[in-house]
Amino acid sequence: MATAAKTQADERYVYRFGGGVSDGGSGDKNLLGGKGANLAEMASIGLPVPPGFTISTAMCTRYYEEGETFPESVRGEVAAGIVHIEGITGKKFGDASDPLLVSVRSGARVSMPGMMDTVLNLGLNDETVEGLASASGDERFAWDSYRRFIQMYSDVVLGLDHGAFEEALEVAKEDKGFTLDTELSAADLKALVAEFKSLVEEQQGAPFPQDVHDQLWGAVGAVFGSWQSDRAKVYRRLNDIPGSWGTAVNVQAMVFGNMGDTSATGVAFTRDPSTGHNAYYGEFLINAQGEDVVAGIRTPQYLTKAAREDAGAKPLSMEEALPEAYTELAAVFDRLERHYRDMQDIEFTVQQGKLWMLQTRSGKRTAKAALKIAVDMAAEGLITRDEAILRVDPQALDQLLHPTLDPSAARDVLTKGLPASPGAASGAAVFDADTAEKWAADGKAVILLRTETSPEDIHGMHAAKGILTARGGMTSHAAVVARGMGRPCVSGAGALSIDNKAKTARVGGREVKEGDLLTIDGATGEVMAGEVATIQPELAGDFGTLMVWADEVRRLKVRANAETPLDCRTARDFGAEGVGLCRTEHMFFEADRITAVRQMILAEDEAGRRAALEKLLPEQRSDFQAIFEVMAGLPVTVRLLDPPLHEFLPHEEAEFAEVATAAGVDVDTLKRRAGELHEFNPMLGHRGCRLGVTYPEIYEVQARAIFEAALDVAEKSGEAPIPEIMIPLVATKRELELMKAVVDRTAKAVFDERGKTVEYLVGTMIELPRAALRAGEIAEAGEFFSFGTNDLTQTTLGVSRDDAGRFLGSYVEQGIYAKDPFVSIDVEGVGELIRLAAERGRATRPDIKLGICGEHGGDPASIAFCESVGLDYVSASPYRVPIARLAAAQAALKARG
């Protein structure tokens, strides 16, 4: 204990940057957060970065471990950090004649836009404000900075009601008949500061802190505190960011974008984050501070002349208004892209003509842009093809695989905003995040309408199909977050006037009420009344190129879970190399079969069951024919009947009479049989191969339908499918032996009748822990294993997959499982069983074919696990096939190291 305390006390928590010093670099993201690490890196390559220091994430962890207090040692380190800034700037913190002001910003390992707190202009008080006024020669600027500081500090650090401050500002403007903050004079601002200070005193019962060191520690504590804010927690949950990472705090000399018309602040991307187009892309505001741009309160101006002209906008671009600073900035963009070999998202400030870099990081981008940038950069020789493959998040492909608006469909366009995040969405208009979440939970598609979004809206944005805002630019909170989530978003639709109280929006004399259907097109910015038809995505171009590269490096095959010809076609178009799971029960539910299925279930003996099955045979055969035709030449894994039979019988009183008549029995018989089949725990009941063991004729007829269909397709097209007949829920070798005998016997009978054969395999699913443990002997009877990780997860964890939703959320939140184990394989538990079964199966039968067909087959992290075990294939739902192809390629590349 004593040793641990000593190590902690000795640990270093503060890392400086600027003025030729860089204690860290871009490799230190875990310790310094993304922002801190990149500030240090930029400073080290000689870019103009205001000097500062980073308090590490390790301090954040310790801060929470020690009851939200700071150790003495860190106070000394921070004091030394301030001295470092003072030495470079020549200003002193708290100096009444020429004060040093600092910003205090959060910065986690990965960026969490807008989720955590920031304080600017720290170091101002009643004395230093005068010093700032005289040193800058701009009294108005000094008092504006002070009022901004009090406002921000009161909100972020003191937790006071920010509405009261905004209202006071509004009233001050109204009194003078002004509309813009910039119209307020130094005297107006001075009066406003006095009012703000009395508001503070009223609300917290103590004056606004005048000691600059108290201010600093208050702000540092607030930034660490914001790591545990509700919105940060929600964001972490949605983005799989562990709470244990903590945030760093960056304290940096302030530079001012609000020192007149040669000052500005902006955000930029080195390429277009929406389309990936290779052109600088960004927004800036003259005479403003950084938060004004990202907060989306003023609609910003374009960075380049070309972009301004394209948009037909009037206010001058930065290229035109501040040509020298722009040229320097463009050179920095190129330098940063070459240095980081990736598209960068940059924050900068121009203070009286001088450019300062405040942040750089790899820019968030849409899936479309990610593809284009990766493919382009590989072509430009900036990165290799393998790197290009690793650059695209497989999950993000989802955005591209979904429909866009049909260009030929009629559109009733209400207005147009900025195309902030691509994709099209229709849904009912809602005006607040809670309603969005509630309606979405009821299965309704919603479009969230906000004047501007704030981090508090994040749950509603996630629940909505699309987001529409009246204010804010392409880098506003709504735009950044929507792009990250893959939600279509139209931002800055300025003609829209939203009344939150009345839950209505007015645009061009028309009204949109809560619940009215709206469509937004995130690619064009159009907002339409009603629902507009959609079309399927284009899969050629950059997508096709990257997929070809991915296919060249991946080892795992990718199949699809599909049971209809349409799903099989979609899957093949998406590049599936066969079917990994055809669940035959889905065919039983079809309207024209269900009666025969029920007759089979209601039959009292084998003869009765066979008679009903005879009726099903031609239907099943034609189903298999259709699938085999689409999949000709490829393996198709067909699973024999799995669910308990009572699932096919009616449950509602109202249905009994009709079903009884159709099945040709009386209602009492039907009810009695349904009662007999009732199970307390159907998932562990009479299902899977247990059906085949008790009623082998069911599996026999299914096998016959498969073989006959395979022979038919082989004859017709000359290309035979390769059926892999799969027995579900096996626990013992004997079960599989018995079922394989039924299948082999049937195959022989059909082949004898037809005088022809097709190649086929018989294997089993591994869905029960016993099957995994006894895989060595089960492999004696089966030619392949397919891991049914849905059932294997529920049987290994003892968690019902149908009931897990009630409590798994809390489990993940409390770190019991890192991720939902039904979405991403529980590598330690379920994974160990898979590894063991694969080893034992191979020991018996070295060429045993191994695959996975649970939902995990489409999850990138689980796919990486499958690669590590050396499975032969993964099988995923058709729309996830491209995701699986890319994830498999990434897993192969990472495995090679």
Cβ atoms of residues 302 and 308 within 8 Å? yes
Give the range of 186-194, 234-242, 528-536, 764-772 binding Mg ion by CB under 5 A: 764-772
Q: Name which position in 788, 831, 858, 882 contacts Mg ion (CB under 5 A).
A: 788
Task: Determine which one of 84, 459, 462, 477 is catalytic.
Answer: 477
Q: For ligand PEP, which is the closer residue by CB, 603 or 874?
A: 874
Site for ligand PEP in 762-781 (CB under 6 A): 767
Burial 497-523 (b: 16+ CB within 10 A, else e): ebeeeebbbebeeeebebebbbbbbbb
Q: For ligand PEP, which is the closer residue by CB, 400 or 825?
A: 825
Q: For ligand PEP, which is the closer residue by CB, 669 or 800?
A: 800
User: Which DSSP state fits 180?
Assistant: S
> Using N-to-C axis directions, what is the helix angle for 667-677 and 653-663, rounded to 10°?
110
Query: Binding of ligand PEP at residue 218 (CB under 6 A)?
Result: no
Cβ atoms of residues 725 and 620 within 8 Å? no
How many other C-beta atoms can be found within 10 angstroms of the C-beta atom of residue 262?
16
Q: For ligand PEP, which is the closer residue by CB, 289 or 793?
A: 793
CB of 853 vs ligand PEP, minimal distance in Å? 5
Is 789 known to sit in a ligand binding site? yes
Q: For ligand PEP, which is the closer residue by CB, 155 or 791?
A: 791
CB of 687 vs ligand PEP, minimal distance in Å? 9
| Alpha-helical regions (H) of 498-635 | 541-553, 565-573, 585-588, 591-602, 606-630
Site for ligand PEP in 545-604 (CB under 6 A): 581, 583
Please choose which of Mg ion, ligand PEP, none residue 854 contacts, taking the beta carbon within 5 to 8 angstroms, the exact cut-off set by kind: ligand PEP
Please choose which of Mg ion, ligand PEP, none residue 376 contacts, taking the beta carbon within 5 to 8 angstroms, the exact cut-off set by kind: none
CB of 728 vs ligand PEP, minimal distance in Å? 7
Is 345 known to sit in a ligand binding site? no
Alpha-carbon Rg for the chain in angstroms: 32
Q: For Mg ion, which is the closer residue by CB, 390 or 684?
A: 684
CA 498/CA 23 separation, integer angstroms: 49
Q: Name which position in 272, 791, 867, 872 contacts Mg ion (CB under 5 A).
A: 791
Please choose which of Mg ion, ligand PEP, none residue 581 contacts, taking the beta carbon within 5 to 8 angstroms, the exact cut-off set by kind: ligand PEP
Query: What binding mask, one character per residue, do residues 309-338 give for Mg ion by CB under 5 A, x or -?
Result: ------------------------------
Residue sitting closest to Mg ion (CB): 791
93 sits in which H/E element: strand 92-93
In order of 112, 380, 493, 692, the CA distances from 364 in angstroms are 11, 21, 22, 52
Q: Name which position in 278, 790, 800, 844 contacts ligand PEP (CB under 6 A).
A: 790
Active site residue 477: yes
CB of 728 vs Mg ion, minimal distance in Å? 6
CA 10/CA 13 separation, integer angstroms: 9
Residue with tokens 């240090």: 40
Please choose which of Mg ion, ligand PEP, none residue 325 contacts, taking the beta carbon within 5 to 8 angstroms, the exact cut-off set by kind: none
Please choose which of Mg ion, ligand PEP, none residue 447 contacts, taking the beta carbon within 5 to 8 angstroms, the exact cut-off set by kind: none
Burial 359-385 (b: 16+ CB within 10 A, else e): bbbbbbbbbbbbbbbbbbbbeeebbeb
Residue with tokens 């490829």: 634
Give the range of 48-56, 387-395, 570-578, 784-792 binding ligand PEP by CB under 6 A: 784-792
CA 486/CA 464 separation, integer angstroms: 11
Among 527, 528, 547, residue whose Cα is nearest residue 539: 547
Query: Binding of ligand PEP at residue 257 (CB under 6 A)?
Result: no
Helix, strand and coil content of the chain, in percent to the nearest 5, comes to: 50, 15, 30
Residue with tokens 């009022």: 147
Q: For ligand PEP, which is the closer residue by CB, 85 or 876?
A: 876
CB of 854 vs ligand PEP, minimal distance in Å? 3
Which tokens is 239 given? 């983005």
Query: Binding of ligand PEP at residue 830 (CB under 6 A)?
Result: no
Residue with tokens 């039983």: 588
Helix, strand, or coil here: 497? Answer: strand
| Alpha-helical regions (H) of 820-859 | 830-844
Which tokens is 774 given? 């006894």
Size of the site for ligand PEP (CB under 6 A): 10
CA 539/CA 560 separation, integer angstroms: 18
Which tokens is 790 given? 């849905």
Is 639 known to sit in a ligand binding site? yes
Indicate the pairing of strand 446-450 with strand 424-430: parallel
Cβ atoms of residues 185 and 230 within 8 Å? no
Is 767 known to sit in a ligand binding site? yes
CA 603/CA 615 separation, integer angstroms: 13
Is 791 known to sit in a ligand binding site? yes
Q: Name which position in 139, 345, 735, 791 contacts ligand PEP (CB under 6 A).
A: 791
Beginning with the edge strand found earlier in the chain, give each strand of the sheet holding 281-286 in spatial order: 301-302, 281-286, 264-269, 344-351, 354-362
CA 429/CA 815 separation, integer angstroms: 36
Site for ligand PEP in 633-672 (CB under 6 A): 642
Residues 6+ apart with CB under 8 A from 711: 720, 750, 754, 756, 758
Query: What binding mask, one character per residue, do residues 494-513 give for ligand PEP by CB under 6 A, x or -?
Result: --------------------
Q: Name which position in 778, 853, 881, 889 contacts ligand PEP (CB under 6 A).
A: 853
Helix, strand, or coil here: 231? Answer: helix
Give the range of 184-192, 363-371, 789-797, 820-828 binding ligand PEP by CB under 6 A: 789-797
CB of 722 vs ligand PEP, minimal distance in Å? 20
Task: Determine which one of 489, 689, 853, 866 is catalytic.
Answer: 853
CA 563/CA 582 separation, integer angstroms: 5
Give the range of 14-22, 129-137, 352-360, 766-774 binding Mg ion by CB under 5 A: 766-774
CB of 643 vs ligand PEP, minimal distance in Å? 8
Please choose which of ligand PEP, Mg ion, none residue 583 contacts, taking the beta carbon within 5 to 8 angstroms, the exact cut-off set by kind: ligand PEP
CB of 861 vs Mg ion, minimal distance in Å? 21
CB of 396 vs ligand PEP, minimal distance in Å? 25
Which tokens is 507 given? 């645009």
Q: For ligand PEP, which is the closer residue by CB, 483 or 801?
A: 801
Q: For ligand PEP, which is the closer residue by CB, 428 or 581?
A: 581
Q: For ligand PEP, which is the closer residue by CB, 483 or 583?
A: 583
CB of 793 vs ligand PEP, minimal distance in Å? 8
Cβ atoms of residues 266 and 355 within 8 Å? no
CB of 767 vs Mg ion, minimal distance in Å? 5
Query: Binding of ligand PEP at residue 800 (CB under 6 A)?
Result: no
**In the chain, what's the furthest Cα-to-Cα distance?**
103
521 sits in which H/E element: strand 517-521
Size of the site for Mg ion (CB under 5 A): 3
CA 638/CA 635 separation, integer angstroms: 10
Active site residue 568: no
Q: For ligand PEP, which is the closer residue by CB, 192 or 582?
A: 582
Helix, strand, or coil here: 287? Answer: coil
Is 609 known to sit in a ligand binding site? no
Where do contacts with ligand PEP occur on this chain (CB under 6 A)?
581, 583, 642, 767, 788-791, 853-854
Binding residues: 583, 639, 767, 788-791
Where do contacts with Mg ion occur on this chain (CB under 5 A)?
767, 788, 791
The residues carrying an active-site annotation are 477, 853
Binding residues for substrate: 583, 639, 767, 788-791
